[in-house]
Amino acid sequence: MLITGASRGIGAATARLAAARGYAVAVNYVVRKDAAEAVAADVRKAGRKALTIQADIGKPDEIARLFRTIDSEFGRLDAFFNNAGILSRAAKFVDIAPARLQQILAVNTTGAFIAAQEAVRRMSIRLGGHGGVIVNMSSLAAKLGGAAESTDYAFSKGAIDTLTVGLAKELASEGIRVNAVRPGLIETDIQKDFGIGDRVGKYKDLVPMKRGGTPGEVAEAVLWLCSDQASYITGVLLDVSGGRGL
């Protein structure tokens, strides 16, 4: 399994759970090599092979290098968690600068699109692969809109929903299932990137369960979608949100 953006949060939790479920894991990171190596160490403690690979998902040439490294070190790719994503500080719609929008789309949308292409080239039975599973990282923001905080982020994740459905239809006959998870209010470091303090505490009363979720709860959904237990499921946008968004 390859997990982009795996040095923290949901990506890191998924890497650790993937190892427990029997996967060798490639841990992608951009800057935090120390954090990525800590995740890889936990994968190895679980008795599985781990590899850390630095690559910026906002740069197509680095995405290509990432996948070439998978080819040389793992030989094949069975599951891809297309997880890497960024956001910026909370801002009103009219205050979002073009440079900020372009940066977010470069990673969350264009980068995810190109990374999925690379995964498909390796998995597709039409292209000589053995099939596989792609799980895209969307967000409940794609449904809720990100109003007054992050319409750019929500916009980028709405595209991921569309990509998921389109790929699921196109690739079903090529041995590839494609689904997405849409986390809601999750207790991760990315919440701090909004710059508004305790964001989970601020909004938890909007969640029917009256709490934020954990990275581990999202990781469970990702690993289930990758498993044989989900063998007849493709094109699903799975909300992991404590009931928010209903």
**Which residues does residue 159 pair with via DSSP β-bridges, in sequence order?**
none
Q: Catalytic pick from 23, 29, 153, 203? A: 153
Contact between residue 140 and residue 244 where contact means Cβ atoms under 8 Å apart = yes
Structure tokens at 119: 């995964």
Q: Which residues contact 182 (CB under 8 A, 6 or more apart)?
A: 138, 139, 140, 142, 143, 157, 161, 237, 238, 239, 240, 241, 245
Q: Which residues contact 174 (CB under 8 A, 6 or more apart)?
A: 120, 123, 124, 125, 126, 127, 131
- How far is residue 139's CA from residue 217's CA, in Å, rounded to a whole number? 14
- How far is residue 207's CA from residue 154's CA, in Å, rounded to a whole number? 18
Active site residue 29: no
Q: Which residues contact 105 (CB under 8 A, 6 or more apart)?
A: 152, 155, 156
Residues with a known catalytic role:
153
